[in-house]
Amino acid sequence: MRNFSISPDLTPLYRSAIGFDRLAQLAEHAAANNGSNGYPPYNIELLGENHYRITMAVAGFSMTELDITSEGEKLVIKGSKANQKDERKYLHQGIAERGFERTFQLADHVKVIGAELENGLLNIDLEREIPEAMKARKIEITSARLISE
């Protein structure tokens, strides 16, 4: 059985929508990266209307071997194992001890508010902070004409 991959053609979106080019680029990037290896496994939870948590299984990594950076709208989590000096002889090795780099694209106004490592799980808490200028506001209706002629 053959597996065909069809990438979406977003050219019509570029022609008719102004300012949505970033959204189209995200869709193209997501379609191109559907073959990621899935290591390490992670969950993304919605904790509240504007609160999120990424939980990543990082068994065997210490806090000093993990690095979290947030730059612009990208969150990058890296794990690098220190080289072990003693050679181990495994009969079965089911726990991956390799380094990783996982990148998440954050939406506008989503900020990382903290991270903790507990029982082999790395929890990263995020929050969407909507600026006051973008929040819904009530418009008062008056009967008098506001613009003088």
Task: Give the closest residue to 7 by CA, choosing from 30, 38, 23.
Answer: 30
Q: Which pLDDT score is estimated for 20?
A: 62
- pTM for the structure as a whole: 0.68
Residues with Cβ < 8 Å from 50, sequence gap 6 or more? 127, 128, 129, 130
* Per-residue pLDDT at 87: 78
> Given this model, what pLDDT does residue 96 score?
75
Residue with tokens 């993990």: 66
What digits encode the pLDDT tens for the residues 6-60? 556 666 656 666 666 666 666 666 666 554 568 899 999 999 989 999 999 998 8
